Structure 1
Amino acid sequence: MNVKEHVLKRLEEQLQLHGHLIGVAAGSGMTAKYAEIGGADFILALSSGRFRQMGVSSLGGFLAYDNSNDLVMSYASKELIPIVNNIPVIFGLQATDPTIELAEKLNEIERAGFAGINNFPSVGLIDGQFREALEENGMSYALEVDAIAMANKRGLFTVAFVFNAEQAEQMMEAGAAVICVHLGLTVGGSLGAKKILSLQHAKNLAMEIFERCEQFNRPVIHMIYGGPVNKPIDVQFMYDGTSIMGYIGGSSIERIPTEQTVTQITKSFKKSDDFHYDELIEKIIDGMGSQRDYIEFVKKYIHLHYMDQIQLRDIAKILSLSSSYLSTLFKSEVGMAFTQYLIEFRLNRAVDILKKQSLPLTNVAEMVGYPNYAQFSVIFKKHRGVSPKEFIESNINKR
């Protein structure tokens, strides 16, 4: 059994046990160590992760501040390989580097103990005239595809970042074990990218790409990375109704929590009369202040209270905002109206229950916030195309 087969076997077991996979792009041994303890399924060693640990933007990995491949080899071979014991570490390979000979670089990566490669930094994150100039000089995405193909033939585990359906098709042909839709730089925190791709837009893009992958009729792991997805509840939204099997976190797991926690804890020590540590941690988790914080609060509120009666005006009162302002803000940030988001969330929970448990339909309706079964049935059929009863019957026939 080669490295790729061994890793795939383990990931398939984790999918059966937990339903989804988690990868972590770690820029330090500390992140990797605690990510493994927390249940991460694999670690990505990326130059941008190292720049995050320096306190600068992930974009540092795309500029000539350091040689990306040398930087990854330097820190990952010293901090990640010796620290991570039971899960694979994947090397972020910049295949467009004109100073390397690809076969020899893969030999070096194998000798150092890495289980495989990921195409990063990727020219897929670059557009405009600079992208055209790179392509004209041979530094193209095609080199990244070649690297994945060569690593796959060697029996290495491969994680392919793709940015559109055409690239996904190329990486499928190259034999990538994981197709990961890269949704752009992670939004959030003081160093986050400013351009926001709505969750609904991100979900549509991922579904389009994975539909193209399914045409190849071979098993492949579907994952997502970056963009507007930076909270567990965002990941759940992306999972619902899609074939997405996992999430890879970089800034969302490593940078943003560190920014928030270190800042707030330092402030608490600065205040000599602040001894409410538990309350402080709660504020860190729920911390509000920016427009994005308000939206996170609304989504979290829905997650906790979807089985109860929920009115946007009540949430607006909690936040001391007008309901019209909060409604406009929510639609702008999330890509759908509050009511639509709430309905989708409730129906996805109902589908989960109907698939796993045999309960009276009136009880299921009440469990997801619809005490009136007739209303639940009408909404379910409108959005799912069948009644709850018909859904159960079709699900039984598939077993």
Structure 2
Amino acid sequence: MAKRYTEKEVIERLQTQIKLGSPLFMPNCGCGLTAKLQEKGGSDLICVSSTSYWRLKGQGSLAPLMPYSDINEIVFKLAPEIVANVKEAPILSLSGATNPLLPHKEHLKRLWDAGISGINPFMMKIYGDEVCEQMENIGMGWSKEVEMVKTAHEMDMFTLAYAFTPEEATILAEAGASAVSSHVGSTKGGLMGAKTGLSLEQSAELSQRIFDAARKVNPDIILFAHGGPIEGPKEVEYIYKNTNAQGFIGGSAAERVPIEKAVYAATLEYKQIPIKY
């Protein structure tokens, strides 16, 4: 059964790893078995994710915010399964902040009671500026993510927030985010990988500008990278060598792509066993 941690306790755990020279890793998770294996492999954080839920159904990462899906209800339903299979790693949730019928304090209290130590707000900006502008106009936009970070910080819950630009990183750091991750687009690769407009070099450059902006506000803020062409260990190694990133968030790269490779390879192996005839 997973343990709950305060914001300070999570930060101390992560800073201990950083001081040891160990890179941080937070995978997204869509089932209990994955959570168990991710912790066994040494994950520093595990994120209950509606994107993972849909990826494990064979669909793409953009499915969770379609009209037929309530991302927060998915998290609430997945949480017991994940919590039951994790022993020590702090659990976060990829939770949506924009539901006007679910006040932040009530939402966060429900997550805490479910065994979740912090949040990674669902990144509305993945849907593009036009959608985000319209959502902001009706009071359900990105500013709600910022408010959720601020409220979680006030409630002593750990917050890891995605920033697509340096300006967003500044705002999130000012709101009290414990950690900031650059987001350079949906992860490419595998059967359901997204198209990405940035090269690995461009992703590193943008990530560093995001990190610099966050560190101007909080010199101790923890830095992660995620998305786009950062699809595997070699790409993550490049990011570590060329930015100040201290950790990596794996969505498709940490669950969908490894499952695709393993199941595909196992199936081929069984089919290649000769039989008598």
Q: Tell whether the structures are fold-level matches, with TM greater than 0.5.
A: yes
Give me the whole-angstrom Cα distance separating, in 2, the residues matched to 1:266 and 1:159.
37
Checking the alignment, whether the CA contact within 8 Å between 1:185 and 1:193 is kept in structure 2 is yes
Task: Tell me by how many angstroms 1:98 deviates.
Answer: 2.4
Task: Tell me by how many angstroms 1:217 deviates.
Answer: 4.3
Q: Which residue of 2 aligns with 1:186?
A: 187
Q: Which residue of 1 aligns with 2:108?
A: 106
Counterpart residue identity of residue 153, structure 1: E
Counterpart residue identity of residue 139, structure 2: G
Q: Secondary structure at the match of 1:194?
A: coil
Counterpart residue identity of residue 52, structure 2: G
Checking the alignment, whether the CA contact within 8 Å between 2:173 and 2:218 is kept in structure 1 is no
- Aligned CA distance change for structure 1 residues 241 and 263 (closer, same or farther; 3 Å): closer
* Per-residue deviation, residues 304-334 of structure 1 (Å, max 9, x unmatched): xxxxxxxxxxxxxxxxxxxxxxxxxxxxxxx
Task: Give the TM-score normalised by structure 1.
Answer: 0.66
Q: Secondary structure at the match of 1:119?
A: coil
Counterpart residue identity of residue 113, structure 1: G
Task: Tell me by how many angstroms 1:82 deviates.
Answer: 1.3
Give me the whole-angstrom Cα distance separating, in 2, the residues matched to 1:63 and 1:14.
37
Q: How many aligned positions are there?
A: 271
Equivalent residue runs for 1:319-334 within 5 Å:
none
Select the structure with the greater relative contact order (CA < 8 A; seq sep ≥ 6).
2
Task: Tell me by how many angstroms 1:242 deviates.
Answer: 1.9
* Per-residue deviation, residues 126-180 of structure 1 (Å, max 9, x unmatched): 2253333212111111100000000001110111111101110110011101101
Task: Tell me by how many angstroms 1:17 deviates.
Answer: 2.0
Give me the whole-angstrom Cα distance separating, in 2, the residues matched to 1:88 and 1:128.
32
Name structure 2 gaps, 5 residues minimum: none
Give me the whole-angstrom Cα distance separating, in 1, the residues matched to 2:203 and 2:274.
44
Equivalent residue runs for 1:115-154 within 5 Å:
115-120=117-122, 122-154=123-155
Give me the whole-angstrom Cα distance separating, in 2, the residues matched to 1:71 and 1:145.
22
Checking the alignment, whether the CA contact within 8 Å between 2:132 and 2:142 is kept in structure 1 is no
Equivalent residue runs for 1:118-267 within 5 Å:
118-120=120-122, 122-267=123-268
Task: Tell me by how many angstroms 1:263 deviates.
Answer: 1.5
Q: Which residue of 2 aligns with 1:79?
A: 81
Give me the whole-angstrom Cα distance separating, in 2, the residues matched to 1:163 and 1:14.
26
Q: Secondary structure at the match of 2:34?
A: helix
Give me the whole-angstrom Cα distance separating, in 2, the residues matched to 1:213 and 1:129.
25
- Aligned CA distance change for structure 1 residues 264 and 51 (closer, same or farther; 3 Å): same
Counterpart residue identity of residue 36, structure 2: K
Give me the whole-angstrom Cα distance separating, in 2, the residues matched to 1:189 and 1:177.
31
* Sequence identity (%): 34
Give me the whole-angstrom Cα distance separating, in 1, the residues matched to 2:130 and 2:251.
28
Structure with the higher fraction of residues in helix conformation: 1
Equivalent residue runs for 1:56-67 within 5 Å:
56-67=59-70
Task: Give the TM-score normalised by structure 2.
Answer: 0.94
Task: Tell me by how many angstroms 1:123 deviates.
Answer: 1.4
Task: Tell me by how many angstroms 1:113 deviates.
Answer: 1.3
Name structure 1 gaps, 5 residues minimum: 275-399
Equivalent residue runs for 1:369-380 within 5 Å:
none
Counterpart residue identity of residue 115, structure 2: G
Match of 1:53 among 53, 56, 70: 56
Give me the whole-angstrom Cα distance separating, in 2, the residues matched to 1:217 and 1:59.
31
User: Is residue 22 from structure 1 mapped to residue 34 from structure 2 by the alignment?
Assistant: no
- Aligned CA distance change for structure 1 residues 9 and 259 (closer, same or farther; 3 Å): same
Task: Tell me by how many angstroms 1:48 deviates.
Answer: 0.4
* Per-residue deviation, residues 12-69 of structure 1 (Å, max 9, x unmatched): 1111224310111111111111111101000011110111111111111121222110
Q: Pairwise CA RMSD of aligned residues?
A: 1.5
- Aligned CA distance change for structure 1 residues 258 and 271 (closer, same or farther; 3 Å): same
- Aligned CA distance change for structure 1 residues 70 and 164 (closer, same or farther; 3 Å): same
User: Is residue 11 from structure 1 mapped to residue 14 from structure 2 by the alignment?
Assistant: yes
Task: Tell me by how many angstroms 1:273 deviates.
Answer: 3.3
Task: Tell me by how many angstroms 1:268 deviates.
Answer: 2.2
Larger radius of gyration: 1
Q: Secondary structure at the match of 2:258?
A: helix
* Per-residue deviation, residues 279-301 of structure 1 (Å, max 9, x unmatched): xxxxxxxxxxxxxxxxxxxxxxx
Checking the alignment, whether the CA contact within 8 Å between 1:187 and 1:196 is kept in structure 2 is no
Counterpart residue identity of residue 22, structure 1: F
Checking the alignment, whether the CA contact within 8 Å between 2:159 and 2:178 is kept in structure 1 is yes
Counterpart residue identity of residue 56, structure 1: Q
